[in-house]
Amino acid sequence: MRALRWSLGILGDLFVSAGVLLLLFVGWQLWWTDVTANRVQAGTVHTLTQQFDSPAARGEQPTPVAFGKAFAIVRIPRFGADYARPLLEGTSHDILQQGIGHYVGTALPGAVGNFAMAGHRTTYGRPFHDIDTLLPGDLIVVETRASYSVYAVKRHVIVDPTAVDVLDPVPQHPGVRPTAAWLTMTACHPKYSAAQRYVVFAQLVHVYPHADGLPKGTLSVPKGAP
């Protein structure tokens, strides 16, 4: 009996240790990755802002975006006055750790077709954590070295991960030729799960030359926003 009690005690200690390690891992995933990712993404936004504002950038011709490269800044007033996240080309795991990802092969900001992007709702800075709070009419501003593309939210859907038609040139209408400029945002749903996708569709309402800046009030936080 003494040996059995000793064995059970050791087993209990092992379970407690495993539980502690699991809690530490969850804490790292949910907190520390946000801390490090937010620092990296803020640095990228700062670098892009300097590049976009430099006199040399005004005369540059648009070039194809390299995979993994940050090329735009996404601003969403509903998410707060200081919300600004880098947009990178690609949606691989390592890219989404660095910011919002642009689906390769979809339209570029301001262009006719479907400009589609993905972001985390939890961990790694969680840029789309509050995607479910976006309301019709809310603005999404995408800044590049050439322009500001301003989109207004139209609607949202919740779909299975296999529903790739949300990325079609006309979202959810396979084979239809686009005549308007759409923006599609995708993120896992519900929070802390990847069972489904939360998808927001927005439509282009204005494009402003970067040299002219944005009209006053464009980035004003909507009433009721956090």
Predicted pLDDT at 199 = 98
- Interval 146-198: pLDDT, tens: 999 999 999 999 999 999 999 999 999 999 999 999 999 999 999 999 999 99
221 in a domain, yes or no?
no
183 in a domain, yes or no?
yes
10 in a domain, yes or no?
no
Candidate list 78, 102, 189, 197, residue with the active-site label:
197
**How many domains is the chain built from?**
1
119 in a domain, yes or no?
yes
CATH of the domain at 146: 2.40.260.10
Structural domain span for residue 196: 36-212
| 188 in active site | yes
Tell me the pTM.
0.84
17 in a domain, yes or no?
no
Candidate list 78, 85, 126, 188, residue with the active-site label:
188
Candidate list 85, 120, 121, 189, residue with the active-site label:
120
pLDDT bin (cut points 50, 70, 90) of residue 28 is very low
121 in a domain, yes or no?
yes
11 in a domain, yes or no?
no
Question: Is residue 69 within 8 Å of residue 90, measured between CB atoms?
Answer: no
